[in-house]
Structure 1
Amino acid sequence: MNKIVERAKAPTPKFFKVLRTIGLAMATLGGTILAAPVALPVIVTTIGGYVAVAGGVLSAVSQLTVDTHEQPD
């Protein structure tokens, strides 16, 4: 468990910072579709759920990616 906290606090490479931001935007978009106050077709809400999950996974994986060249020993 301690290793995961260390990885989350370690420096993240620039590429994965961009991916993390994209993932957060996808999760927000999916959540917005799911929480829409109007009735949407089932296919739209299904896609919104998948987009939200994919964005969350992308953000989590990107956050835990470590740049070993910048990490202090």
Structure 2
Amino acid sequence: MNVIKRAKAPTPKFFKVLRNVGLALAAVGGTILAAPIALPVVVTTIGGYLAVAGGVVSAVSQLTTTQEKSNASK
């Protein structure tokens, strides 16, 4: 199964929830990074980590699919 078919395939409910959590984390991280005021370095670093982690979680969750057993595996 290639990446395009995987992205279009149905995603299990747990991974849909996990994808949405990842998107929220990425949004919070992006908001922290784009803040119009000067923030401490620690807060900016955490914002960067949140953005990256949220993006990875969302991408992996989107590509997780349910796979039915085929006759070839018997």
Letter in 2 for 1:8: A
Distance in 2 between residues matched to 1:54 and 1:22, nearest whole Å: 11
Deviation at 1:68, TM superposition (A): 1.2
TM-score under structure 2 normalisation? 0.89
Please name the residue that 1:65 is paired with.
64
Please name the residue that 1:19 is paired with.
18
Please name the residue that 1:44 is paired with.
43
TM-score under structure 1 normalisation? 0.91
When the two chains are superposed, the root-mean-square deviation of aligned CA atoms in Å is 1.0
Deviation at 1:5, TM superposition (A): 0.3
Q: Mark the structure with the bigger radius of gyration.
A: 2
- Matched-pair identity in %: 74
Aligned residues: 68
Distance in 2 between residues matched to 1:32 and 1:5, nearest whole Å: 30
Runs of 4+ residues over 3 Å off in structure 1 = none
